[in-house]
Amino acid sequence: MSNLLTYNYPQVLPTLRSAFFEDLKQITYHMEALLASDKYKELLANFPEIRVTIRSLRIFHELENSNLNAADVIKGFGEFPDWTDGSGSNRFKNVGSFVVLSKILSESLRDNDNKIWVSSKEAKDLVTDPVLTRIYMGLIYQKIKVAQIKYFGAGAPENIEDIFSKKKGQIMFFQAKISEFIGLTSKVNDAFTKIKAGGDLTNDDYYNYINLSLDAIDYAFGVVRIFDDRFKTDDYLSVAANRTVL
């Protein structure tokens, strides 16, 4: 190092800087590998929140690299095995239940083509026709029932499909929330299409896409509150939303 600092530091500095930032970009993967070692098995067994946090950082890293889109993030987040392995407090289990519910809602609005979610035009009838909305809510109910997700309170766990069914009369409110979500996702679709098209993209283009994606993901997690005020997913997005990207 003394020879490097004395003679070659100005020439080697760009390489060192590049290697340093590349290592920082991989820190979430290194951390996940570290916590998988025998030394931390007991810690991870007792604190599933740590496992979820590390997995979350990794999945949002994939979003930043455009390897995943926002809908894929919600789907991946809802499929973490930690939510259903029976570990953690009731509060943690409830967060898992609400994340899975958010995944069901998001996946129900996916587009089979290249876009992430259906467009506002494609969802027009869904958010204006009460009959179609009732059919849609019925399908969501069946998905929730199959998933067997529950709310853990002071007493016996409640089936979330039972809580959902109590809201079946709130058609207009449900339509409004889905319409707001589609409004956000349409912006994400446009930004995602622009990113995938390539061309003369700026840092602002990527920054806009990531921010819009985080807004849509955050809203998807918040939509579950239309079923019950107790449904809270906590602030798992705060780290990702406040990161300096690019």
Compute CA distances 138 → 29, 92, 161, whole Å.
40, 28, 10
Q: What angle in degrees, to the nearest 10, is found between the helix axes of 203-223 and 70-78?
A: 40
Question: Which two three-digit tokens encode residue 182?
Answer: 């589609």
Domain that holds residue 195: 88-240
Task: Determine the Cα–Cα distance for residues 48 and 53; give it in Å rounded to an integer.
Answer: 9
What is the per-residue pLDDT for 90? Answer: 87
User: How does pLDDT run across 7-28, given as a tens digit for each residue?
Assistant: 566 677 777 777 777 777 677 6
Of 107, 39, 31, the residue nearest 74 (C-alpha): 107
Task: Determine the Cα–Cα distance for residues 157 and 140; give it in Å rounded to an integer.
Answer: 20
Of 132, 63, 49, the residue nearest 94 (C-alpha): 49
Of 145, 139, 148, the residue nearest 107 (C-alpha): 139
What is the per-residue pLDDT for 235? Answer: 56
Of 165, 54, 148, 153, the residue nearest 97 (C-alpha): 148
**Low-confidence residues of the chain: pLDDT under 50:** 237, 240, 243-246
Please check whether residue 37 lies inside any domain of the structure.
no
Of 126, 136, 128, the residue nearest 105 (C-alpha): 136
Please check whether residue 130 lies inside any domain of the structure.
yes
What is the per-residue pLDDT for 4? Answer: 56
Please check whether residue 83 lies inside any domain of the structure.
no
Count of domains for the chain: 1
Cβ contact 225:234 at 8 Å? no
Please check whether residue 189 lies inside any domain of the structure.
yes
What is the per-residue pLDDT for 188? Answer: 92
Reported pTM: 0.78
User: How does pLDDT run across 175-225, given as a tens digit for each residue?
Assistant: 888 999 999 999 999 998 888 888 788 888 888 888 899 888 888 888 777
Q: Beta partners for 220?
A: none
Compute CA distances 31 → 16, 25, 36, 54, 116, whole Å.
21, 11, 9, 7, 30
Q: Which H/E stretch holds residue 110? A: none
Please check whether residue 207 lies inside any domain of the structure.
yes
Please check whether residue 53 lies inside any domain of the structure.
no
Please check whether residue 115 lies inside any domain of the structure.
yes
User: Coil, strand or helix: which one is 109?
Assistant: coil
Please check whether residue 201 lies inside any domain of the structure.
yes
